[in-house]
Amino acid sequence: MAKGNKILVISSLMPGATAFYLIRELRSIGHELSVISDIDDECVSEVHYGVVDIQAWIGRSGFRPDAILFIEGGTRRLFPSGMEYLDCPSAWYAIDTHIHPDLHARTARLFDISFVAQREFLSLFAASEAHWLPLAADPALNPEKQPERDLDVAYVGSDNRALHPERALLLDAIRARYSKVFIGRAAPAHIGEIYSRAKIVFNKSARNDVNMRYFEAMAAGAALVTDRTSGNGVEELFSPGKDFLEYEDESSLFATIDRLLSDDFEREGIGQHGKETVLSRHTYGQRAERIAKVLLACPHRIRPAPSDYLPVYHLLRFPDGVLSQAQKSLAWMRSNGDRNPLLAMAILFLHPLAGVLLWGYRLRYRLRYRGEFRAGQRRSK
């Protein structure tokens, strides 16, 4: 995509969202962006809740995009519609396919291009043109001056016992074994500082995913010690044994950590090798360049029907979207010769019901998710 093109980005911009980095990098390489989010921010052009009618938004805003980019994540209470009416290519970034495989497979039918973070799931995206686009690091998160590495082991993320019982047990064991540790959540702006202070970063993938911790830990020059992933492309991104070390179980985890803590030369060598690999090949600036290049080469050819939107809205729990698409589907049937009077009554009934539900869900959204967002900001300070 030539520099200076207009891109409409739709994404729920919770703190630390991948979309923040891509928005900044796309702008830095010369593209003009308009951003729709359900959470306000200085980079957001319009705040919207629920389903966004892209065609109506373009007519209202006067911003005529050369491409549409939807980036999943955040609250999952924002989604574009009307891609069938566009005259420009549309793409989306599927990040958590290991958690939402069915939703992602159906979402792919709505866009010309699917960028997929987790390589092992590429086969799910046969309905569209699919490209593997791993997560990345933002070098700007790391402090300019290297601080003292006064933490033996660090881990930033969830230790929820119900969701990740194996990870929680390993984190308990790390707390008990080492005194200089950081384990828990942190504001995105502080992650780089924490990992820059860490000698070792611990990782336990959720479901065989190559997660953000790979990139963030190595970008900070810490020695990453992670469980083994299989078939998800990690060997194509990095060199295990040189960029990071792997463990099989608790015994091998602690044997690896103890060895690295006692051998500064090996530990620092692994940290430096991983850092050079990430900064040379896996930054969000490079990911933004890739997105722009692919969008340029792709024509707009996917014209989703109401039957394509319906299962997506159902899985996202957007009842107003389900009813709206059902109304469009019934209207299409009537325009093609179905004169059943019950069909005409259903069309008249569904449209106002969808409108009432949309109003109710937007109100509930404002009360629920804005409260959670403020609470998250307070916790991160």
Is 80 exceeded by the pLDDT of residue 130?
yes
Say which residue, 342 or 103, is predicted with more confidence: 103
**pLDDT value at 295 more than 50:** yes
Write down the pLDDT at residue 376: 41
Q: What is the value of pTM for the model shown? A: 0.86
Q: Say if residue 351's pLDDT is above 70.
A: no
pLDDT on residue 274: 98
d(CA 332, CA 355): 19
Q: By the 8 A CB rule, do 151 and 174 touch?
A: no
Closest to 278 in 3D by CA, of 94, 135, 132 = 135
pLDDT band with cut points at 50, 70 and 90 for residue 375: very low
Secondary structure class of 172 (helix, strand, coil)? helix
| CA 276 from centre of chain | 24
* pLDDT per position as a tens digit, 71-81: 999 888 899 99
pLDDT class for 370, splitting at 50, 70, 90?
low
Tens of pLDDT, residues 83-124: 989 999 999 999 999 999 999 999 999 999 999 999 999 999
* Per-residue pLDDT tens over the stretch 249-277: 999 999 999 999 999 999 999 999 999 99
Which of helix, strand or coil describes residue 8? Answer: strand
Q: What is the number of other CB atoms lying within 10 angstroms of the CB of residue 66?
A: 18
Q: Residue 203: name the closest of 188, 193, 218, 192 by CA.
A: 218
Contacts 24+ apart (CB under 8 A), 252-260: 253/170, 253/202, 253/225, 254/173, 254/177, 256/225, 257/152, 257/153, 257/174, 257/178, 257/200, 257/202, 257/225, 260/199, 260/200, 260/223, 260/225
Are the CB atoms for 1 and 66 separated by under 8 Å? yes
Give the residue with greater pLDDT, 235 vs 349: 235
- Quickly list DSSP for 22-39: HHHHHHHTT-EEEEEESS
Overall average pLDDT of the 41-57 stretch:
92
Residue that has been written with the tokens 């593209």 in this structure: 31
At residue 9, the 3 state secondary structure works out as strand
**Is residue 344 predicted with pLDDT exceeding 70?**
no
One-letter amino acid at 47 equals V
Per-residue confidence band for 377, with pLDDT thresholds at 50, 70 and 90: very low
What share of the chain has pLDDT > 90, as a percent? 71
Q: Of the candidates 125, 114, 141, 140, which has an alpha carbon nearest to the alpha carbon of residue 291?
A: 114
Domains present along the chain, CATH in parentheses: 6-136+290-380 (3.40.50), 139-277 (3.40.50.2000)
Is residue 333 over pLDDT 90? no
- Cβ proximity of 56 and 92 under 8 Å: no
List Cβ neighbours of 338 (8 Å cut-off, separation of 6 or more): none
Strand order in the sheet with 6-11: 46-47, 32-37, 6-11, 67-71, 90-94, 113-116, 129-132
Q: Which residues contact 95 (CB under 8 A, 6 or more apart)?
A: 18, 71, 72, 73, 117, 118, 135
For residues 226 and 244, the answer to whether their CB atoms sit within 8 Å is: yes
> Which residue did the predictor score with more confidence, 321 or 148?
148
pLDDT at 98: 92
User: 3-state DSSP call for residue 106?
Assistant: helix
Instruction: Name the residue type at position 170.
Output: L
Model confidence at 317, in pLDDT bands (50, 70, 90)? confident
**CA separation for the pair 300, 62 (Å, rounded):** 20
Provide mean pLDDT across the span 138-166: 93
List phi, psi (to 5°) of 196.
Answer: -70, -25
Q: Is the pLDDT of residue 341 over 80?
A: no
Nearest-CA neighbor of 135 among 218, 197, 36? 218
